[in-house]
Structure 1
């Protein structure tokens, strides 16, 4: 029974991971759309307020009500929230300075980082076929990024740092998954975003440090302008997508092995290219399409193999 249950759990985790990445792709799109007008901490604060309302309306009633705030691991939640806040800041600053597909592609050193961390810190086993699937996905990313292009500017370090912090966040998730629910982990992430953005805004929201020399620095340091009514829908989208993605990705890494769930996050790459085409008129090259095929193929192979592992085999007459 155990041999069947684990693959089934892994499969459900994979679907949660892919749904979460779809939500996060909307977050990336929204951040990119607002990055030339608003300050990063202003956007994060507004998004967090919407997320708090969404959580209270759609997740809190089904997560035990106010019991969701009870935890025996406050330090772990603080550490996890700090990792994800810092990861988001780095990724969002990268999005402000780079094409969305380039930033997301560089961020995809994260599945490799997660796989390595899962072996080192969690003692999970990663077989050669999983390593091969991860490697194929990374080759696809390299085909899209193409070393030597504008993706490899100084700003490209920001998504790379975000990827490492993102992997560290998932290690904490795996450590506390048996005692903390997805709802509890989600609400503490929202509160960490809310508090940190409010504190940063309190000190620099007047724009006193903004020099306008670089898109990422300008996004971080500019003064808070009034919110235009035309941009309200983007803030609301960010709030809904942020909550949905946070809850789903928490479920993914609670249900499945970290090294198994990680490659399914590669689906963000073709989605990012789609947003680039539709909203920013950046068309993929032939290399980019080849990369999409490799990225999707690696994830689909992982899903197919996990399904095969979950199918009971007839007993061998030579075994007892």
Structure 2
């Protein structure tokens, strides 16, 4: 895969996050009585069917590479998908997305611990302010299972984005996504059977649409996070918040409250500031050369 610049990686993430909002919006159209585990299984099944044509002709031998990392990401992804359905259907779309976008904040300490990325005082300050912003949005005195579910989703997104670095770089994006979804199907099918609900195929179309949008986002994440350090591009993930506010307002008639707007600003603005500092540092380094 050809390398791309930090700026291009951030631009791709902006597009990907705006597209991902429509996956969330489709999930929100589900009724409260929908069998959650069945729907998650349908999402993975349709994702595999969508990806298979893009993997035609690829060497079968390369499919066995990095299976343990694909399996780990698959089950983290499955956990996040389950909690995402709960969170999106229990909260306004923009509020749920605002908490999901705590993922880049979580990536900072995770990158430090697992990849030894250096945190500057600026990234630490951005992380602290962003965490306070999350608290403003979820209001700790009013915290409920939906907010906790959304935080779990954020943690799974952060973990999966960082684990992209462990995947074999010779595998195509389509291969990467196919293997991740295939590895998770046994567990998602098992959960659907354990759920004990009568099989209802009506949500299959919604699942396919949701899968299509989220696959585009996931493919973009693979490209972007393979090409640049996470702390340099993670702030671009917040572009989806604007899309979530717009879609929530137009599609579901949801008007953001003051706490959501204030908390979002506390998350986004420090990371925009952090990105500008990184850009200035890079420009200064190039000037010295």
RMSD between superposed Cα atoms in Å: 3.0
Structure 2 residue 200 is matched with structure 1 residue 225:
yes
1:125 to 114, 118, 131: 118
1:114 to 102, 107, 116: 107
1:216 aligns to what? none
Question: CA–CA distance in 2 between the matches of 1:76 and 1:315?
Answer: 40
1:213 aligns to what? none
Deviations 1:138-172 (A, max 9, x none): 455445444444xx113321122232233232332
> Aligned pair in 2 of structure 1 residues 250, 313: CA closer, same or farther (>3 Å)?
closer
1:11 to 7, 12, 15: 7
Which runs of structure 1 show a deviation greater than 6 angstroms over 4 or more consecutive aligned residues?
none
Question: CA–CA distance in 2 between the matches of 1:79 and 1:253?
Answer: 17
Question: CA–CA distance in 1 between the matches of 2:85 and 2:164?
Answer: 22
1:60 aligns to what? 55
> Aligned pair in 2 of structure 1 residues 68, 141: CA closer, same or farther (>3 Å)?
farther
2:44 to 40, 48, 57: 48
> Aligned pair in 2 of structure 1 residues 14, 191: CA closer, same or farther (>3 Å)?
same
Structure 2 residue 224 is matched with structure 1 residue 252:
yes
2:252 aligns to what? 280
Structure 2 residue 186 is matched with structure 1 residue 195:
yes
> Aligned pair in 2 of structure 1 residues 315, 254: CA closer, same or farther (>3 Å)?
closer
2:90 aligns to what? 97
Structure 2 residue 214 is matched with structure 1 residue 242:
yes
2:24 to 28, 53, 61: 28
Q: Is the 8 A contact 1:84 1:169 kept in 2?
A: yes
Structure 2: give runs of 5+ residues left out of the alignment. none
Q: Is the 8 A contact 2:28 2:89 kept in 1?
A: yes
- How many positions carry a matched residue from both structures? 286
1:210 aligns to what? none
Structure 1: give runs of 5+ residues left out of the alignment. 1-5, 208-222
Deviations 1:204-261 (A, max 9, x none): 3x42xxxxxxxxxxxxxxx433417xx83x3332121122112111222211112223
1:183 aligns to what? 174
TM-superposed CA distance for 1:299, in Å, is: 4.6
Question: CA–CA distance in 2 between the matches of 1:301 and 1:97?
Answer: 32
Question: CA–CA distance in 2 between the matches of 1:186 and 1:280?
Answer: 30
2:165 aligns to what? 174
TM-superposed CA distance for 1:118, in Å, is: 0.3
TM-score by length of 1: 0.76
TM-superposed CA distance for 1:283, in Å, is: 0.5
